[in-house]
Amino acid sequence: MGLRMMVVVAHPDDECFAFGGAIALATRRGVEVNCICLTDGQAASNRGASTDGKDLGRIRREEFAASCQVLGIQHYELLDYHDAQLVHANVHEAGKKLVQRMRTFRPHVVVTFGLDGGLNVHPDHTMVSAITSAAYHWAGRAKRYPELDLKPHLPQRLYHITTNFTLEEREPLMPAPWTCVLDTAEVLPVRIEAFEKHSSQLPVLESVRPYLDKFGQQEFYTLISAATPQPAAMTHDMFDGIRE
C-alpha cells in the first residue's frame, strides 16, 4: 500500500477552493486520497437552478463528486450534517464517524481547516477543524469507541490550512504561522477546473478568481500534531520523511 491522505471539509467546493492544490499535488504523485465532506451545502447564498434547499443539496452532492473526480480523489463521501449548523453537532457522534473512517482508511496524513475558520471565517470551518482534530487523536486510542471493533490508528501528521493573505471585507482573521509551503502553481488549472464543476456556485468562483490568480501559486499549512515528538520545521512536502 502507498501513501494515504484524508482531507476533511465542511462544504462542497471546500475541497477545490481551500485544499485543491494539496490534493492535486498528492494525487499526481500517486497518493491515495479520501475526502470527507460533512454537509451538502444547502444553506449556500448562491442557489443556482435549485427549487429548494433539498434540491440544492442534491445538486451540490453531484457537483462535489464531479470536482473530486477532476482532482483525482479516489474516495469521497458526503455526510448528512446540516449546513451552517455544525456548531450544534454532537461532537462525540461526529468524532466517532471520523474515527471510524480514519481507522478504516488508515491515512498517513490528515488535513483540515484551522480553528480560525478559513478566509471567510465560517463557523462550520471552525467546527470541522475541532471535530477532525479531536478525531485524529481519538483514532489512535483503543479506549475511544471500542464498539467500532476497528484497530486503532494514529496518522503520522495532522495539518491545518492557513494563509498568507486575508480578505479586507471579511471579519478579522488570525491565521496560524505556517510550517509547510506547497508550490501549487502547476496544478492551479486543475484546481480551477474542479471549481468550475460547482455550477451552482460559479458566482463565488468569479469573486475569488482574482485571489486565485494572485495567490494560487502556493498553499500554506501548519503542522498541528504528529505521531512522534519533533521540533517544528519548515517543509515543502507534507509527506517528507514518511515511509509507506
Ordered DSSP codes for 86-144: GGGS-HHHHHHHHHHHHHHH--SEEEE--TT-TTTT-HHHHHHHHHHHHHHHHTT-TTS
User: pLDDT (tens digit, 0 to 9) for every residue of the chain, 244 residues total?
Assistant: 799 999 999 999 999 999 999 999 999 999 999 999 999 999 887 888 677 888 999 999 999 999 999 999 999 999 999 999 999 999 999 999 999 999 999 999 999 999 999 999 999 999 999 999 999 999 999 999 999 999 999 999 999 999 999 887 788 899 999 999 999 999 999 999 999 999 999 998 899 899 999 999 999 999 999 999 999 999 999 999 998 8
Q: Is residue 236 part of a domain?
A: no
Residue 231 belongs to some domain of the structure: no
Instruction: Check residue 235 and give its pLDDT.
Output: 98
Task: Supply the range of the domain harboring residue 156.
Answer: 4-226
CA–CA gap between residue 108 and residue 102 (Å, rounded): 10
Is residue 244 a part of any domain in this protein?
no
Q: Contact 19/36 with Cβ under 8 angstroms?
A: no
Count how many domains the chain has.
Answer: 1
Closest by Cα among 124, 13, 7, 8 to 64? 13
Looking at residue 172, its pLDDT comes to: 84
Q: Indicate whether 243 belongs to any domain.
A: no
Question: What confidence score (pLDDT) does residue 49 get?
Answer: 65
Pairing of strands 109-112, 4-9: parallel
Q: Looking at beta carbons, which pairs linking 137-144 to residues 24 or more positions away fall under 8 Å? A: 137/225, 138/95, 138/99, 139/98, 139/99, 139/102, 139/103, 140/227, 144/99
Q: Is residue 159 part of a domain?
A: yes
Q: Does 237 fall in a domain?
A: no
Q: Strands 157-162 and 180-183: what pairing?
A: unpaired
- Could you tell me if residue 106 is inside a domain? yes
What pLDDT does residue 43 have? 86
Asked if residue 98 belongs to a domain, the reply is: yes
Q: What are phi and psi of 183, to 5 degrees?
A: -85, 105
Q: Looking at residue 32, which CATH number applies to its domain?
A: 3.40.50.10320
Q: How far apart are CA 234 and CA 231, in angstroms?
A: 10
Pair 66, 37: CB distance under 8 Å: no
